[in-house]
Structure 1
Amino acid sequence: MRRAGAATARLAMALAPHARCIWIACGPGNNGGDGFAAALELVRRGRRVTVTFDGDAQRLPSDARDAFDRLCAAGIPIAPEAPVHFDLAVDALLGLGASRAPGGRMRDHLRRMQTRGAPVLAVDLPSGLDADTGQSSVDPGVAGPGLRHCLSLLTLKPGLFTAQGRDAADVVWFYDLGADRASVPPDARLPGRPAHASRPHDSHKGSFGDVAVIGGAPGMTGAAWLAATAALHAGAGRVFVGLLDDEAPSPAADDALMRRNPRSLALDRMTVVCGCGGGTAVDALLPEVLSRAKSLVLDADGLNALGRHPGWRELLQKRAQAHRATVLTPHPLEAARLLETDTQAVQADRLAAASQLAHALGCTVVLKGSGSVIASPDDCPRINPTGNARLATGGTGDVLAGMVGAALASGLDPQSAATQAVWWHGAAADGWPADRPFSASQLARQAGLGLAPPA
């Protein structure tokens, strides 16, 4: 706890080096003890602090009580109310293991932190956030100009990176407290920036695989063209478009995209991206796609068709037995249909939902959303750290499906293909110029050549 307090104090001074007042809001458990230890360290370093305490000193855990007693012995008072003005707020109210939503004065203190505009530093976890699921019992609200920081202690918590965690903590810091955690298996992995592809000079279009996009029912052809455009710009050697609307014209966007009758495609030699804008028309082709595609990305209406015809799941399981690469890219509602539950249940534990689906169907699953989860049957899930709310618009999921298809066609295994595609997809949105309009069609052309080939 003394190490945690010292680390919190050091970060507080770095975040607000000229602060005239640092408010430290302490709660009734060990998280509050970390706050007491931080306050003592800050005062020793000449900083002005205001400490509030929402709890009963007689009921503090032993380590937290020791920190409280040391604070009092140093002559640092507990303030009856939060300060009117502060330059940094330290949230040490609730940490790991909080089982109920904060109420009363604690709730008021959290609301004051959120609305005053000063930066907030949460110790270990933002109060009310579940460390495993990212679900919060506190509405993050609309943040002011100050960033929300979190100093995660001992280990990074999955909940900081998915569901509501991304809104609860804008910036995550980490300190291991000097403990050796190497022997503890992870609950999830946080992938870093993938290596850019390095293409040999002595290569040709056949070196990077063929992608066939099957979708685009009447009135929804744009989705298929988006996926195909993304696959082309993400580096696929050749891209074919098998529209389910025979009468639809071809856009003049990319002459390199080749239109074909979907029934004429050599599925057993291609990576197939199926379902983008497919409507119910995709049902007629999906069993053949599931049976024959060399590798497969199943998206949107392809997933909905799987939900309507549960017997087709056996075809997915046969693909797994034959070691044919398959990636599903559901959003939460599509995942809920496949799991025969509802969106709320999926979002309540995104890592568990993605893992359950991956094990049930024997394939890699990308559960899209804030902190997209990539789950495979034989490894712990990965949580994607890139992306922002720009992606919350129609067509961006079609772009992602095309990017995953290009990665599979290059020879990457399903988990690596999904992980890299999701990372670059989000990174494109993160790096989007503020003065440039954002759209899925523009995003498809920014897919780039970042997908790395196998070693």
Structure 2
Amino acid sequence: MSKQDVTPTGLHPHDERINAQSPSLPVRTVNQVRHDEQLLQQTFPNQQLVAWAGACAARWLQENGELVANAIIWVLAGPGHNGADAYVCARHLHNRGYTVRLFSLNPNSTATQLARAAWLQDGGQIETEFPPLASTLANERPSWILDGLFGIGLNRAPQGQAAQWISEVHVYQRVSQTRVLALDIPSGLDANNGNPHGENCLRADATLTFLSLKPGLLTGAAADYRGELWLASWPHSPDESDQINHPSEATQQARLNSLACFQALLPQRQANSHKGIAGTACLIGGADGMEGALLLAAQAALLSGAGKVYLQTLATQADTANLLMRMAQPELLGLPTGWSATLEHTLQHAQAIAIGPGLGQTTAAQQHLLALLQYRPGLARQIAHPNAPNTAPSASTDWQQRGLPPLILDADALNLLANHPAIRQALQQYSGSRILTPHPLEAARLLGCDVATVQADRLSAARLLARQYAAWIVLKGSGSVICGPDERVWINVTGNASLATAGTGDILTGTLSSLLAQGMSVLPAIQAAVWLHGYAAELAWADFAHSAAAQRPFTAPATRLGDRPFADSHRTQPSPTPNSAQGLRGLTATELGKFIRIALNQWLH
């Protein structure tokens, strides 16, 4: 190996796969990454950064690419720094005995000059045209194609020869099962928002990103283009780590929503416990024809550990609806319709309130939401978790002084909030924590824009919602975005397309209300609910894959915990399976709630 192949002293390639169990890593925008690179270049010349990135890519392919002796690898080099990384990687692989063909968009670009010269010096050749597909299939089939065409700075659709090459790469993927590794980001994918620049965006089987995660690899359409996501972290001292990951700049930093954010704060129980200690949640919704949404949320609250779950339906035949829901789930506690002393008593003893699943947008629903937001009981209440020290408040202390319980607004409660200024004004007067859980269409209504605007910058949309409504925000979707009133952001990495079915949002609402009722603080409760919600979908897919491998029928999890043989192995080593991002087709919301119970108990103990 020649000297140019050696990374700077002590800077050995290291990478880690990003999955459900990753730590809460920083997520950096393009401008922030550029800032980090400038800081690094004060100590390390740019060619050393290029040498390190290329070495990381070569090592990744050797360790994870299942390369056989004399494997054929094609490398696509663009005109910028990504192209230079690709040259270095090609040279490493060439010097280790693999058959490497390098295709360059611009064999004379300045940015790749040094890496290109080293590649040629070691006997490499540069090609500028793809060979015909028929001749390639007859004579050679590349095991991997390395995408080094464009990096995080691209802000337009790939055009011309680049677009043609991307289209041909997709043909090789389909016809010859060639796999694709993208350097830093798939060519054509926006690094800030996860949206493709036009139709010709490369779909990678894996992406190895450098220095830090980018929002565009975690949210929006990212999961459909990035494949498995890996991070090559820069090896440096703790002092440098603080400087790199937390620069003194006005732009706020996002982080990965991970198990480490909340696992130590999950609700624990003593042996000497009772249902009152496990907390009370009150859920409101379920208008005519939508009672099922309320039932799903209430079942999820029970499955995730709430001691008592009250539900109030706005159905015209409330008694019948209550009876049917309690027949489906006998543990639920029904409340009479309308405003009543019974409802007030329940609200005074609940540790979490959720309104919206199946609520509807009728005048009655509007009035009920407004009454809830404006309600202040005359007597004191203890809103602390029941397991807290039992100190009786003074009878002269009113509810607002003691603080109101967290209030979750979901589904039609969000639509009513968007359409009625009186409700918005009343929400501003609610002194407890406000949590809004919109999907992109609901978020667009709340912001008075279209869905495309929300999806064009999901992080900014979540921050704007948090600012306008002084609330905690969960902007749902692939790579759900959590944002606090202080506009700090976390991006969730768990989940798959199994969640794209009716009722899964209600499951999230019920799970969140349950964790709040059990005494978790607002931020870790939101982080846990969102993470568990996505992780349960991954468990469902893993269970299906296990069932298929064992040649036994797939069944939804039974009531007995631990009856699923995949659970322990998935906890320690979640195994990637083909098309896992697509999830389990046909997973129902009811089944999802049961997988949440399994997920919660896996990480509780």
TM-score by length of 1: 0.92
Of 82, 85, 110, which residue of structure 1 is paired with 2:166?
Answer: 110
**Greater Cα offset, 187-196 or 242-251:** 187-196
Give the secondary-structure state (helix, strand or coil) at the position aligned to 2:155: coil
1:369 aligns with 2:369: no
Give 1:173 shift. 1.1
| Equivalent position of 1:148 in the other structure | 205
Give the secondary-structure state (helix, strand or coil) at the position aligned to 1:35: helix
| Equivalent position of 1:71 in the other structure | 119
Give 1:138 shift. 4.9
| Equivalent position of 2:575 in the other structure | none
Q: 1:307, 1:161 → 2: CA distance?
A: 28
Contiguous gaps of at least 5 residues in structure 1: none
Check conservation: 2:539, 2:595, Cα contact below 8 A.
no
| Equivalent position of 1:350 in the other structure | 458
Identity %: 37
Q: How does 1:153-232 map to 2 (within 5 A)?
A: 153-179=210-236, 180-183=240-243, 184-185=245-246, 187-193=253-259, 194-195=262-263, 197-232=267-302
| Matched residues, number | 445
Give 1:208 shift. 2.2
Q: 1:411, 1:222 → 2: CA distance?
A: 27
Q: What letter corresponds to residue 274 of structure 1 in structure 2?
A: I
Q: 1:350, 1:269 → 2: CA distance?
A: 36
Check conservation: 1:359, 1:377, Cα contact below 8 A.
yes
Q: 1:257, 1:102 → 2: CA distance?
A: 55
Q: What letter corresponds to residue 347 of structure 2 in structure 1?
A: L
Q: 1:452, 1:438 → 2: CA distance?
A: 20
Give 1:197 shift. 4.2
Post-superposition Cα deviations, 1:142-182, rounded to whole Å, max 9, x if no partner, equal: 97xxx711111011112111111111112111112335342
Q: What letter corresponds to residue 21 of structure 1 in structure 2?
A: I
Post-superposition Cα deviations, 1:180-208, rounded to whole Å, max 9, x if no partner, equal: 34233372111222526432112211112
**Greater Cα offset, 390-399 or 284-293:** 284-293
Q: What letter corresponds to residue 136 of structure 1 in structure 2?
A: P
Q: 2:456, 2:186 → 1: CA distance?
A: 17
Give 1:453 shift. 12
| Equivalent position of 1:13 in the other structure | 62
Check conservation: 1:407, 1:451, Cα contact below 8 A.
no
Of 96, 99, 109, which residue of structure 2 is paired with 1:45?
Answer: 96
Of 94, 118, 133, which residue of structure 1 is paired with 2:150?
Answer: 94
Q: 2:185, 2:82 → 1: CA distance?
A: 9
Give 1:409 shift. 1.0
**Greater Cα offset, 165-174 or 290-299:** 290-299
CA 1:36 to 1:409, structure 2 compared with 1: closer, same or farther past 3 Å?
same
Post-superposition Cα deviations, 1:45-104, rounded to whole Å, max 9, x if no partner, equal: 1111110001251x432xx21111211222211123335321001100000211211012
Post-superposition Cα deviations, 1:354-405, rounded to whole Å, max 9, x if no partner, equal: 1110121111111110011111122521111111111100111111111111
1:308 aligns with 2:419: yes
Give the secondary-structure state (helix, strand or coil) at the position aligned to 2:595: coil
Give 1:11 shift. 0.7
| Equivalent position of 1:243 in the other structure | 313
Q: Answer with 1 or 2: which has the greater Rg.
A: 2
Q: 1:82, 1:138 → 2: CA distance?
A: 22
Q: 2:473, 2:601 → 1: CA distance?
A: 18
Give 1:408 shift. 1.3
Check conservation: 2:481, 2:489, Cα contact below 8 A.
yes
| Equivalent position of 1:297 in the other structure | 408
Q: What letter corresponds to residue 349 of structure 2 in structure 1?
A: R
| Equivalent position of 1:255 in the other structure | 330
Q: 1:94, 1:141 → 2: CA distance?
A: 10
Q: What letter corresponds to residue 441 of structure 2 in structure 1?
A: L
Check conservation: 2:294, 2:358, Cα contact below 8 A.
yes
Q: What letter corresponds to residue 117 of structure 2 in structure 1?
A: D
1:135 aligns with 2:195: yes
Post-superposition Cα deviations, 1:317-362, rounded to whole Å, max 9, x if no partner, equal: 233xx3x122111000000000000000000011110111012111
| Equivalent position of 2:386 in the other structure | none
Runs of 4+ off more than 6 Å:
140-143, 451-454
| Equivalent position of 2:383 in the other structure | none
CA 1:142 to 1:267, structure 2 compared with 1: closer, same or farther past 3 Å?
farther
Q: How does 1:14-29 map to 2 (within 5 A)?
A: 14=63, 15-18=65-68, 20-29=71-80
Check conservation: 2:207, 2:228, Cα contact below 8 A.
yes
1:272 aligns with 2:347: no
| Equivalent position of 1:442 in the other structure | 591
Give 1:122 shift. 0.6
Give the secondary-structure state (helix, strand or coil) at the position aligned to 2:288: coil
Give the secondary-structure state (helix, strand or coil) at the position aligned to 1:445: helix
Give 1:267 shift. 2.1
Check conservation: 2:408, 2:434, Cα contact below 8 A.
yes
Q: 1:289, 1:235 → 2: CA distance?
A: 25
CA 1:451 to 1:197, structure 2 compared with 1: closer, same or farther past 3 Å?
farther
Of 502, 509, 517, which residue of structure 2 is paired with 1:401?
Answer: 509
Check conservation: 1:50, 1:82, Cα contact below 8 A.
no
Q: What letter corresponds to residue 62 of structure 2 in structure 1?
A: M
Q: 1:121, 1:208 → 2: CA distance?
A: 48
User: How big is the alpha-carbon RMSD for the aligned residues of Structure 1 and Structure 2?
Assistant: 2.2
Q: 2:593, 2:66 → 1: CA distance?
A: 40
Q: What letter corresponds to residue 359 of structure 2 in structure 1?
A: G
Give the secondary-structure state (helix, strand or coil) at the position aligned to 1:239: strand
Q: 2:92, 2:483 → 1: CA distance?
A: 42
Of 428, 436, 447, which residue of structure 2 is paired with 1:317?
Answer: 428
